[in-house]
Amino acid sequence: MEIIDLSEGTRIDYFTCLEEWSEEMKDGVCRKECWYNGMREKGLRVKLARNDSGTVAGMIQYAPIEHSWVEGKNLYFVYCIWVHGHKKGRGDLRKHGFGTALLQAAEDDVKRLQSNGLVVWGVILPFYMHAGWFKKHGYSKVDRNGIRVLLWKRFSDEADRPRWIRAKKKPELVPGKVVVTALAYGWCSGINGMLERAKKIYIEFGDKVIFREIYMSNREAIREWGISDGLFVDERNIYKGPPLSYNKIKEIIGKKVRKL
């Protein structure tokens, strides 16, 4: 196994979150590429784990926390770590040490960059970005917001504790219409794909549905809304877990339209 930096040849692995087999993931690639191009200048780092046959098995992406959806300074923030776990495509490659090696490589990297620490987010449930996995790797909890936990590993006594920015704003309603609001950050091809699907679906409902898109990859927008990613149908954020399918989004919007 080896940990490598992103290169021309591995970009498509990264942009598709290693799920080149997934049509839904492909929906989100364009937005991811755009986000990557902007964030690269702001210090985004990407590392990939490759197995002995040359297959990319996992990835980690992190950037200065000042550009993330979390309050903090002189720290790096891990947007996500991901080892391919589906049977399709390159197969389930978890539990071979790739995740551990990626996290270690990111820690070594940010220490070299003289950052005060590495911050990760996780959920208290035993899947997705499981907070327990980070705890096993020496991370400690600094803040919690519902099921989402913020954890960190300090590399300096001078490090200030990071904290969640909490949800505040809700979309404005429009009488006689259903308002679909996409909060688009760009870091995740899965979420990007969901927003692209929502954009296609709203058109099918004609003038009964209004679509608004808000770009979240700046600090002011994050502070105003308190969240980075969202898909609101009127005031309800329907993005709660895994990105929603075309049919699910259509069903939710359709129900609202029928009640108009």
Ligand X SMILES: CC(C)(COP(=O)(O)OP(=O)(O)OC[C@H]1O[C@@H](n2cnc3c(N)ncnc32)[C@H](O)[C@@H]1OP(=O)(O)O)[C@@H](O)C(=O)NCCC(=O)NCCS
Residues in touch with ligand X (CB under 6 A) = 58, 80-83, 85, 94-100, 128-129, 133, 136, 188
**In whole angstroms, how close is the CB of 172 to ligand X at the nearest point?**
29
Q: Which of 148, 183, 153, 187 is nearest to 164 (CA)?
A: 148
Q: Name the closest residue to ligand X (Cβ).
A: 99
Q: In this structure, are strands 230-233 and 178-184 parallel, antiparallel, or unpaired?
A: antiparallel
Q: What are phi and psi of 144, to 5 degrees?
A: -140, 145
**In whole angstroms, how close is the CB of 174 to ligand X at the nearest point?**
32
Q: Which is nearer to ligand X, 102 or 165 (CB)?
A: 102
Q: What are phi and psi of 66, to 5 degrees?
A: -60, -20
Residues 6+ apart with CB under 8 A from 195: 28, 31, 182, 184, 213, 231
Amino acid identity at 162: P
Distance CA 248, CA 57 (A): 30
Q: Which is nearer to ligand X, 74 or 100 (CB)?
A: 100
Q: Which is nearer to ligand X, 34 or 80 (CB)?
A: 80
Phi-psi region of 91 (alpha: psi -120 to 50; beta: other; left: phi over 0): left
64 and 43 in contact (C-beta within 8 Å)? yes
Q: Which is nearer to ligand X, 120 or 180 (CB)?
A: 120
**In whole angstroms, how close is the CB of 56 to ligand X at the nearest point?**
13
Q: Which of 23, 98, 29, 28 is nearest to 60 (CA)?
A: 98
**In whole angstroms, how close is the CB of 96 to ligand X at the nearest point?**
5
Q: Which is nearer to ligand X, 9 or 126 (CB)?
A: 126
**In whole angstroms, how close is the CB of 27 to ligand X at the nearest point?**
16
187 and 80 in contact (C-beta within 8 Å)? yes
**In whole angstroms, how close is the CB of 258 to ligand X at the nearest point?**
33
Q: Which is nearer to ligand X, 58 or 193 (CB)?
A: 58
